[in-house]
């Protein structure tokens, strides 16, 4: 697995990370603990050094899972986690008060079985707490050796600039993929200007860009995609054009990244290869609960799209209008613009 630098921070990670949320939260029943640990171990064995979690994934269960799984090779990996919800519950409202951040870090260190957090994100911007106070608190934690790098998630341009002026921001984590390209307007130019890395979550469109979901797919009752407007049956039918585009490109490309293997790429691999081609400081974090999907996703890091292929994707994608909002209204209100 090739490595990438997250902006100018000096933080080096694998070109693809592993988003761990789905192992215990959000996409239906949690994976069996032994299976989840086996998947994390397999990711590490295949070169993944960047693992993403949060207190709100559970709450707490995902951090505890990572702590157990990564403990044997803790010093060889980068762990990113997030604070910012009251009581660690994503339904409990926002809380980024300095005393809450400090208490979170102490509890998170225990759950992660470590004495430092590599990358600490504010999960969502809290309008009740000045971002300068948040950045200042994380700066103190960095000086204390409990945190190494500071990150933001779903933050807007002005928030990024204000935070960065107090404590350099190493990375922004926000949604970005071929079916959510809004960051290209203002976010990516700002990150490039400031030397901040970009960590796209949902790089496969919450699974839709894999080509394994269609208008007839049903989700578990606990799967949050049931509440997402973009995942109504009507929207999925309309959005199939994007998957068809990826499938067309994939059919013409070797999936292993090795010429003349005769193994075609998959839509997921093309979607990830496209993201990696956008900027050298972009590090997507696809998630999965299945070993064969993990291997498929990691294969995307070996695929190099030509300039002609990137232009073809750009031309075709520009003619596709994706249907449906990416969040339900309540969640959208937590996004900082």
The catalytic residues are 57
8-state DSSP, 72:
G
CA 143 to CA 290: how far, in whole Å? 39
Dihedral sign of CA atoms 149, 1, 298, 36 in order: negative
Query: Of 20, 43, 44, 19, whose CA–CA distance to 30 is shortest?
Result: 20
Q: At what angle do helices 33-45 and 61-70 cross, to 10 degrees?
A: 50
CA 28 to CA 25: how far, in whole Å? 7
In the three-class reduction of DSSP (H, G, I as helix; E, B as strand; rest coil), residue 83 is classed as strand
265-269 contact pairs (CB < 8 A, 24+) = 265/299, 265/303, 266/210, 266/211, 266/296, 266/299, 267/209, 267/210, 267/211, 267/243, 268/204, 268/209, 268/210, 268/211, 268/293, 268/296, 268/297, 268/300, 269/296, 269/297, 269/299, 269/300, 269/303
CA 200 to CA 272: how far, in whole Å? 10
3-state helix, strand, coil in the chain (%, to 5): 45, 15, 40
**Residues 149 and 197: beta-carbon distance below 8 Å:** no
8-state DSSP, 30:
P
For the purposes of burial, counting CB atoms within 10 Å of the CB of 326, is it exposed (0-12), middle (13-18) or buried (19 or more)?
buried
């Amino acid at each position: 697995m090739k490595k990438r630098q997250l902006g100018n921070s000096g933080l080096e990670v694998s070109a693809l990370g592993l988003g761990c949320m789905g192992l215990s939260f959000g996409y239906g029943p949690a994976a069996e603990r032994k299976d989840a640990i086996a998947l994390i171990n397999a990711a590490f064995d295949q070169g993944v050094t960047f693992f993403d979690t949060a207190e709100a994934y559970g709450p707490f269960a995902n951090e505890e899972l990572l702590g157990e799984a990564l403990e044997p090779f803790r010093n060889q990996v980068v762990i990113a986690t997030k604070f910012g919800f009251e009581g660690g519950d994503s339904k409990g409202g926002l809380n980024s008060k300095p005393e809450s951040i400090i208490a979170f870090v102490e509890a998170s260190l225990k759950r992660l079985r470590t004495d430092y957090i590599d990358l600490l994100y504010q999960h969502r911007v809290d309008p009740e707490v000045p971002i300068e106070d948040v950045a200042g608190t994380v700066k103190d934690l960095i000086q204390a050796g409990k945190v190494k790098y500071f990150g933001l998630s779903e933050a807007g341009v002005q928030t990024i600039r204000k935070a960065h002026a107090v404590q350099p921001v190493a990375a922004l984590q926000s949604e970005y993929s071929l079916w959510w390209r809004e960051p290209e307007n203002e976010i990516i130019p700002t990150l490039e200007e400031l030397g901040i890395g970009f960590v796209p979550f949902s790089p496969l469109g919450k699974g839709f860009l894999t080509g394994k979901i269609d208008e007839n797919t049903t989700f578990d009752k606990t799967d949050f995609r049931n509440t997402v407007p973009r995942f109504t049956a009507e929207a999925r039918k309309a959005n199939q054009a994007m998957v068809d585009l990826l499938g067309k490109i994939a059919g013409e490309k070797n999936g292993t990244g090795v010429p003349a293997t005769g193994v075609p790429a998959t839509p997921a691999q093309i979607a990830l290869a496209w993201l990696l081609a956008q900027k050298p400081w972009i590090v997507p974090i696809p998630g999965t609960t299945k070993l064969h999907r993990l291997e498929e996703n990691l294969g995307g890091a070996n695929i190099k799209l030509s300039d002609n292929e990137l232009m073809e994707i750009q031309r075709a994608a520009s003619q596709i209008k994706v249907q449906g909002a990416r969040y339900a209204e309540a969640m959208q209100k937590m996004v900082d613009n």
